[in-house]
């Protein structure tokens, strides 16, 4: 995700390679990033963090304690820390870094192609200008929504953070069902993918609600009505609600660990 952010910022002209320093524990990774983007690299977190006005933490949760130990007390009060670390609360970050100017973000995987959905919040110490910086950075990888309370990030985790996996699962299931009725896999995949993409764009551009569009495509007694009846008998909506609730409760529990 860190590379996706940096690549998008470069591609949209919001930053140049020499404006940043990237730190990574892997020598191979550093060599790859330096060669591909021409960006200065280091294995020294303090050196990287001291190079700019915004410090982006794009690391695995299990590496957070080590990074916080490196940076604790080393950041200038004016520096903005932008964290995309899953489950790492503002309290955890603030105490571990001894720093209060923090933006916490819940992005999702489509950010890798500039089609992400990022939900973020900020501490009171983050200035209006720094919020603009955060919005600009996240806008480079898709759409962004600011919320005024950190509790909404757990909700975002359950909806947009985990949401791509829900769609991937439905695509998998629909392709498998298409194969069962006789379509070849390559034809089924193309049909399902374009149907998913086209339907999403139609929701976005039609000005109609998903419910209105569903009703429009569902003729009484027709094939779509027959299929939707099976979804209803399987309590599809209830299943989705239970799945989202499970993800939400897990997100909250991770934040308390």
Judge if 81 and 126 occupy the same domain.
yes
pLDDT at 70: 94
Judge if 34 and 122 occupy the same domain.
yes
Structural domain boundaries, residue 249: 163-256
Judge if 118 and 33 occupy the same domain.
yes
Within-domain flag for 131: yes
- Whose CA is closest to 110, among 152, 54, 166, 55? 166
| pLDDT category of residue 254 using cuts at 50, 70 and 90 | confident
Total tally of structural domains belonging to the chain: 2
For residue 201, give the CATH number of its domain.
Answer: 1.10.3730.10
pLDDT at 257: 62
Q: Which of 117, 148, 179 is the last residue of a domain?
A: 148
**What rounded mean pLDDT belongs to the chain?**
94
Judge if 13 and 121 occupy the same domain.
yes
159-180 confidence digits (pLDDT tens): 999 999 999 999 999 999 999 9
Judge if 102 and 213 occupy the same domain.
no
| pLDDT category of residue 74 using cuts at 50, 70 and 90 | very high
| pLDDT category of residue 51 using cuts at 50, 70 and 90 | confident
Per residue, the 3-state secondary structure of 20-78, as one string, reads CCEECCCHHHHHHHHHHHCCCEECCHHHHHCCCCEEEECCCHHHHHHHHHHHCCCCCCC
pLDDT at 137: 94
For residue 86, give the CATH number of its domain.
Answer: 3.40.50.720
Tokens of 9: 């910022």
């Amino acid at each position: 995700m860190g590379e996706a952010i940096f690549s998008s910022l470069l591609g949209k002209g919001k930053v140049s390679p020499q404006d940043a320093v990237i730190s990574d524990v892997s020598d191979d990774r550093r060599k790859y990033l330096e060669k591909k983007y021409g960006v200065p690299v280091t294995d020294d977190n303090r050196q990287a963090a001291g190079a700019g006005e915004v410090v982006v933490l794009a690391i695995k949760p299990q590496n957070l304690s080590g990074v916080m130990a490196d940076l604790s007390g080393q950041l200038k009060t004016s520096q903005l820390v932008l964290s995309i670390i899953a489950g790492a609360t503002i309290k955890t970050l603030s105490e571990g870094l001894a720093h209060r100017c923090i933006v916490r973000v819940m992005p999702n995987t489509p950010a890798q192609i500039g089609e992400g959905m990022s939900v973020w919040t900020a501490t009171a110490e983050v200035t209006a200008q720094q919020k603009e910086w955060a919005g600009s950075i996240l806008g480079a990888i898709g759409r962004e929504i600011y919320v005024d309370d950190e509790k909404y990030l757990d909700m975002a985790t359950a909806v947009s953070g985990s949401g791509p996996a829900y769609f991937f699962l439905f695509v998998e299931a629909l392709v498998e069902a298409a194969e069962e009725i006789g379509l070849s896999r390559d034809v089924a995949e193309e049909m399902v993918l374009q149907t998913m993409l086209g339907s999403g764009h139609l929701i976005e551009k039609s000005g109609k609600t998903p419910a209105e569009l569903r009703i429009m495509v569902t003729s009484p007694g027709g094939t779509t009505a027959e299929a939707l009846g099976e979804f209803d008998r399987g309590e599809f909506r209830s299943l989705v609600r239970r799945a989202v609730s499970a993800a939400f409760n897990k997100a909250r529990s991770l934040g308390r660990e």
